[in-house]
Amino acid sequence: MAITIRKAKQSDCEQILSFIKGLAEYEKLANEVTANEQLLKDTLFSEKPVAFVLIAELDGKPAGFALYFYNYSTFLAKPGIYLEDLFVDPKYRGKKVGKSLLVKLAQIAVEEDLGRFEWSVLDWNEPAINFYRAMGAIGMDGWTVQRVSGESLKQLAQKET
């Protein structure tokens, strides 16, 4: 079985959305998906894309994806890659699709002389955590993700300073 990793094209938006929905279902967050194909086109394939997607194909069939964007480390004074989503279709798991996507992202980081490659994982997702550890990832103990979104974001934006 041949795995190929390629940059996504605008014509992949339907497949990307399908992967996003599959990931959301796996993470028990399907009700939070408001993405649609047009929003993906606008944000991923505009003149100034805000994120990028790699598509993994196994024998020519879409098997998974990685969506990433660039962040910045002030401590290193270098940009890095933040992996927002990694998803492999369940029927293709265990066939090195996820590993191939991570390796490709690491190659991009090295080729572009970036300082870091990082991501978050749900604390209950033991299979993913074990997989990431096997790839050399180190958990960032002592850090927690903070988020402001939806109505809370609007309220924060209206606070007096």
Residues annotated as part of the active site: 132
Distance CA 122, CA 131 (A): 13
What is the helix (H) or strand (E) element at residue 103, kind and residue range? helix 97-111
Distance CA 115, CA 78 (A): 5
| Nearest Cα to Cα of residue 120 among 67, 71, 82 | 82
Rg (CA), the chain: 17
| Nearest Cα to Cα of residue 120 among 27, 7, 18, 20 | 27
